[in-house]
Amino acid sequence: MRPFDEIPFEESDYSDVALMVASAREWPADDFARELDARVARRFAEEGQDGGRRGLRRSIRLPLWSAGPAVALVAGIVAAVVVVSGGGLGSTTGTNPGGPVVLTSSQGSSNGGIRHGVPQRYTERTPSHGASRMQSIETVPSVHSKATSGAGSVGATGDANSPNTLGLASTAPVAPGAKQIQSAQISLTAPNDHVDQVAQEVFQVVGDEHGTVESSHITAASRGIGGGYASFMLSIPTGNLQATMTDLSRLHFASVESRTDSSQNVSHQYNNDQRQLNDARALRTSLLKQLAAAVTTQQIDSIKAQLKLAEQQILSWQDTLGRLQHRIGYSNVEVQINQNGLPIPVYHRTHSSTGFTIGRALHDAVRVLVVAAGVALIALAVMIPVGLVAALLIWLWVWLRQRRREHALDSAG
Amino acid sequence: MRLGVAIRPSETDSESWERFEALYRSSRDDIYAYVLTLLRDRAAAEDVTAVAFERAYRRRRTFDRHRGDERGWLFGIARNAALDELRRRRRTATLVVDPEDVSDDELADDSDEDQAVRRAAVREALAALAPRERELIALKFHAGLTNAELASVLGVSESNAGTMLHRAVQKLRRAVNAPV
């Protein structure tokens, strides 16, 4: 017979043992029974009101089924953060799902070019006439006032808090009749939803001062989202530069963040170029006289060759001098609006981007559904392994606890 | 002694309380006797009995009548509480005194000397049993559990519970009838 084969018996077979055990049965003391009755009558209330550790543990104890939604909620939040911050659902390039509606316009001239997408910072493109005469334009967003460096150049930087804000940036004194190349940079801040209006004001100022827009880049954005940005490269008659800067400092929806005025004394360069031109012209006049006096064919051919070279030099110096004069007569002005704003992806639209349309609503609804499905998928992907591990640990803990209990009974003796 | 009611999860607070109270009144002394059999210490048995009823009260809504009778459920809670007490004793073995001889204090008060001798013999025989056998006897004759409920409390099959009980009873009989 195997050890645990059932042994048939009747309950009545144990009547003698029942009597024996009943005779030896222990009964609870009256005091204990009364005390326990009282505790039960109070529904063990005192244990729940003692405010001690046990009460705290009981108050924060959650039923097991509530752990699932809690884990799902946490996982969902984590997934949402991942999706929102990193575009974790693989958004299409060139679109801006769920983001602000963005208008982008660009125009450019020969040196500016048309710029699409993320706005770029302009870099100085002015050609120099020698390594020692570099012009510098610096943007200083802080409150520091700073003079630009460079041989033969002077400059000043201001900010919104400085007394130079309204077109009064100081420059070094210049001798009367001196030739100067002037340039300026102004950085403005404007609310995101007013960037477009500020840009229109800039265009208006340029027109009023008879200047031209070399290039511009405008990125408008919805309110409160960030990313509104614009930049302009302007060419302004030097005589109108201060008036232009003053007007730019007084735009309705913008305030000045920083401003830099720079000037470079090019008198020496200008005089040198002028002298070279005069020398070349004098040489040509002299050669013309020699040509008139020449008698042999050989003399005539030689003088004509020299004359050709002289005329080429005259043209070259005229071109150089003309470019220098243009730079003296027209100043470059760089305007930045919200230059510290983060650029945002561009969402190209083929029709009106403002107002409610069924298409936009459907698009938004689909995006919301896709994001919600993605969040749910990620939450499940997190929850299932976590839940399995947690269930395994709980089962292991229960099994170990019961095993220890049984062991305690076996060793009780 | 048996109470054929079950605490249903869908019950209101009032209903569940009434059922718990009925269960308490029908089981208090049985729980105490069972726990005392396991622990052999009156003070510890009183503490564990109180703990067992408090746990049962806190968990009364988790009782599932499809998994067994409420008395079996209650004795399972009491068993775990008693075993936890045994574990605690093992961890603090140096501080625990020897098991109390629960028969000594009543022997002098017993008017019927033969009956007292007989009771003492039974208690001595019970003490000589292995802990698991002593537990089986207590569950069967103090708690009045059926073999199925025994199996549920002990976590074994019903036939296995019957076999173990039969052997424990036989051993107890031999111990009681053995010449002193």
pLDDT digits over B34-58, tens only?
A: 898 888 888 999 999 999 999 998 8
Which residue do the tokens 């752990």 mark?
Answer: A67
Are B132 and B163 in contact by the 8 Å Cβ rule? The answer is no
Query: What size, in residues, is chain B?
Result: 180
**B92: Cα within 13 Å, side-chain hemisphere:** 8
- Residue B112 distance to chain A (closest CA, Å): 12
Strand partners, A159: A258
In chain A, the residue whose alpha carbon lies closest to the alpha carbon of B24 is A40
Running DSSP on this structure, what letter comes out for residue B95?
G
Contact criterion met (CB < 8 Å) for A412 and B131: yes
* Cβ-nearest to B163 among A6, A14, A36: A6
Please classify residue B27 by burial: count the beta carbons closer than 10 Å to its beta carbon, then call 0-12 exposed, 13-18 middle and 19+ buried: buried
C-alpha dist (Å) from residue A286 to A280, A290, B149: 10, 6, 133
* Cβ-nearest to B176 among A20, A412, A413: A20
Which residues have a Cβ under 8 Å from the Cβ of B29 and sit 6 or more positions away? A27, A28, A33
| Nearest 10 degrees: Cα torsion A339, A344, A348, A353 | -80
A222 pLDDT band (50/70/90 cuts)? low
Q: At what angle do helices A15-23 and B158-177 cross, to 10 degrees?
A: 70
Strand partners, A108: A215
Residue (of A89, A85, A62) closest to A376 by Cα position: A89
Residue A311 has what pLDDT? 92
Distance of CA B156 to the CA centre of its chain: 17
For the entire predicted model, the pTM comes to 0.45
In chain B, the residue whose alpha carbon lies closest to the alpha carbon of A7 is B163
Q: Percent of chain A having pLDDT more than 90?
A: 23
On average, the pLDDT of chain B sits at 78
On average, the pLDDT of chain A sits at 71
pLDDT per residue as tens digits for the range A40-59: 888 877 554 444 444 444 44
Residue A17 has what pLDDT? 82
| Nearest 10 degrees: Cα torsion A121, A230, A351, A359 | 90
| B101 interface with A at CB cutoff 8 Å | no
The DSSP bridge pattern shows strands A180-189 and A330-337 to be parallel
Secondary structure of residue A231 in the 3-state scheme: strand
Contacts with A47 from chain B: Cβ below 8 Å: 54
| B90 interface with A at CB cutoff 8 Å | yes
| B36 interface with A at CB cutoff 8 Å | yes
Residue (of A120, A150, A116) closest to A136 by Cα position: A150
A111 pLDDT band (50/70/90 cuts)? very low
Which residues have a Cβ under 8 Å from the Cβ of B147 and sit 6 or more positions away? B158, B161, B162, B165
- Residue B32 distance to chain A (closest CA, Å): 7
A386 pLDDT band (50/70/90 cuts)? very high
Residue A76 has what pLDDT? 64
**A284: Cα within 13 Å, side-chain hemisphere:** 14
Widest CA span in chain A: 163
Q: Quickly count: other Cβ atoms within 10 Å of residue B153's Cβ.
A: 26
Angstrom distance (rounded) from CA A123 to CA A384: 53
pLDDT per residue as tens digits for the range A60-92: 444 555 566 666 666 667 666 655 554 444 433
| B176 interface with A at CB cutoff 8 Å | yes
Contacts with B172 from chain A: Cβ below 8 Å: 17, 20
- Residue A192 distance to chain B (closest CA, Å): 58
Structure tokens at B44: 């510890």
| B46 interface with A at CB cutoff 8 Å | yes
Provide the ipTM: 0.75
Residue (of B79, B29, B30) closest to B51 by Cα position: B79
- Asked if the model's pLDDT at residue A401 lies above 80, the reply is yes
Sheet harboring A330-337: ordered strands across?
A103-108, A212-220, A229-237, A330-337, A180-189, A255-265, A153-159
* Cβ-nearest to B173 among A9, A17, A39: A17
Q: Which residue type, as a one-letter code, is found at position A267?
A: S
Secondary structure of residue A388 in the 3-state scheme: helix
Residue A160 has what pLDDT? 43
A224 pLDDT band (50/70/90 cuts)? low
Running DSSP on this structure, what letter comes out for residue B98?
P
Residue A71 has what pLDDT? 65
Contacts with B84 from chain A: Cβ below 8 Å: 405
Contact criterion met (CB < 8 Å) for B36 and A26: yes
Running DSSP on this structure, what letter comes out for residue A128?
P
Residue A80 has what pLDDT? 63
Which residues have a Cβ under 8 Å from the Cβ of A22 and sit 6 or more positions away? B141
Query: Long-range contacts: A128-134, Cβ < 8 Å, 24+?
Result: A129/A266, A129/A269, A129/A324, A130/A269, A133/A264, A133/A266, A133/A269
Q: Quickly count: other Cβ atoms within 10 Å of residue A367's Cβ.
A: 15
- Asked if the model's pLDDT at residue A158 lies above 60, the reply is no
Residue (of A94, A132, A97, A121) closest to A348 by Cα position: A94
Structure tokens at A405: 């209990």
